[in-house]
């Protein structure tokens, strides 16, 4: 369903002013930490930003965006963000529901006929990762160059798997990229346009996220960083990351962004600038199984003890939501994709958000934990 000119105008939102970033602060604990990570060859480069109540307080980078050209990493560098994509896709689906264009409780088969002969599951169950869809994560499935495919085509492949489900829909929780590829296909079907274009219309343009997009390997993107993997020997410390066409990850992990745009995104989302208050709360509400229990009550497989820093963390719509054991309620997600690592977290009470992006695979050298501790100590409190 394509948007008319009038409908497109309805997506326009006011864009609040954002203060110019501060490169460093007295008593800065983040700068020395990331400088040290680069000096030890733990990472090629990293960018970090902190925002409070809509004002960007801090922006700092270290290392190289491209090791071959020697280009320095910048707070404005554009990097792939992996699974941070999921929260944007969830927000777009919820926005379409808010506008009356789809029903979150409806079976996915209403929008994607390829699922009509399978056990039903709802859009909300897909967002909550309780649909049970099996995700083929084999290297052969993603590593070799292949023609770009739409989300609709990828969703049809998921429906046609020999084993489409890991468990009956609504009975357990399992983090599965397949759920968000299917949600991307629903967006394509409802909007009658490619997912990348639909997301521009629904989320990026209305919020003024000028550096955020679905990545395209063929596109020339000024300021885009290159991705790397640590070598086994450490000499040299890094190699170019394995090739990956982002179209293969789609709604589950294909986006790129900057730390500034990511901080702005959370601030505007929590400020009800994209969704109304009811639908923002829906996005932040932990998922439940069909028997009424929180999804954490039956994680699949059973040895999946937790999916956050604390055991009572719950999964909402593309977001991890803190439980009562954490002193400051917050939302969080990580993103990992070939050559890139990302984290985005907001403490809701003080409205403090931090984003960090690294151009290397996730590993012990990625300094996200240390950055988080520094942010909490300076801007959130004990």
**Tens of pLDDT, residues 295-336:** 999 999 765 655 555 578 999 999 999 999 899 999 999 999
**Confidence at residue 364, expressed as pLDDT on a 0 to 100 scale:** 92
**Confidence at residue 221, expressed as pLDDT on a 0 to 100 scale:** 97
**Tens of pLDDT, residues 47-81:** 999 999 999 999 999 999 999 999 999 999 999 99
Crossing angle of the two packed helices 177-191 and 85-98, in degrees rounded to 10: 40
Q: Is 266 exposed, middle or buried (0-12, 13-18, 19+ CB in 10 A)?
A: buried
What DSSP character marks residue 203? I
**Confidence at residue 142, expressed as pLDDT on a 0 to 100 scale:** 46
Q: With contact defined as beta carbons under 8 Å apart, do 65 and 212 qualify?
A: no
**Tens of pLDDT, residues 310-320:** 578 999 999 99
Task: Report d(CA 152, CA 157) in Å as an integer.
Answer: 9
Q: With contact defined as beta carbons under 8 Å apart, do 340 and 360 qualify?
A: yes
**Confidence at residue 349, expressed as pLDDT on a 0 to 100 scale:** 95
**Confidence at residue 146, expressed as pLDDT on a 0 to 100 scale:** 54
Q: With contact defined as beta carbons under 8 Å apart, do 296 and 308 qualify?
A: no
**Confidence at residue 23, expressed as pLDDT on a 0 to 100 scale:** 52
**Confidence at residue 363, expressed as pLDDT on a 0 to 100 scale:** 92
In the predicted model, residues of the chain with pLDDT beneath 70 are: 1-26, 138-148, 302-310, 382
């Amino acid at each position: 369903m394509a948007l008319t000119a009038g409908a497109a105008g309805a997506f326009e939102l006011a864009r609040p002013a954002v203060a110019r970033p501060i490169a460093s602060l007295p008593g800065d604990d983040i700068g020395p930490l990331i400088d040290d990570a680069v000096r030890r060859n733990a990472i090629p480069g990293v960018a970090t930003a902190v925002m409070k109540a809509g004002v960007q307080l801090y922006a700092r980078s270290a290392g190289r965006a491209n090791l071959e050209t020697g280009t320095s990493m910048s707070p404005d560098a554009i990097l792939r963000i992996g699974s941070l994509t999921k929260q944007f896709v969830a927000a777009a689906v919820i926005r379409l529901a808010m506008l009356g264009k789809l029903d979150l409780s409806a079976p996915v088969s209403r929008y994607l006929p390829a699922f009509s002969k399978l056990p039903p599951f709802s859009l909300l169950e897909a967002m909550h990762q309780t649909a049970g869809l099996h995700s083929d994560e084999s290297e052969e499935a993603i590593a070799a160059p292949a023609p770009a495919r739409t989300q609709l085509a990828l969703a049809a492949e998921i429906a046609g798997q020999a084993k489409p489900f890991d468990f009956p829909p609504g009975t357990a929780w399992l983090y599965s990229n397949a759920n968000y590829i299917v949600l991307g296909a629903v967006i394509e079907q409802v909007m009658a346009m490619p997912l990348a274009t639909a997301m521009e219309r629904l989320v990026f343009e209305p919020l003024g996220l000028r550096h955020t997009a679905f990545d395209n390997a063929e596109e020339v993107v000024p300021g885009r960083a290159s991705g790397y993997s640590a070598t086994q020997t450490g000499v040299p410390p890094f190699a170019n990351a394995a090739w990956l066409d982002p179209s293969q990850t789609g709604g589950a992990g294909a986006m790129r962004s900057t730390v500034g745009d990511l901080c702005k995104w959370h601030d505007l989302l929590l400020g009800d600038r994209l969704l109304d208050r009811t639908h923002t709360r829906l996005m932040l509400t932990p998922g439940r199984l069909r028997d009424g229990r929180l999804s954490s009550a039956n994680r699949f497989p059973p040895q999946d003890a937790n999916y956050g820093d604390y055991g009572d963390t719950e999964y909402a719509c593309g977001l991890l939501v803190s439980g009562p054991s954490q002193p400051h309620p917050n939302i969080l997600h990580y993103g990992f994709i070939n050559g890139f690592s990302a984290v985005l977290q907001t403490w809701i009470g003080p409205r403090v958000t931090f984003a960090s992006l690294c151009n290397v695979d996730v590993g012990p050298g990625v300094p996200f934990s240390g950055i988080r501790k520094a942010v909490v100590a300076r801007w959130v409190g004990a």
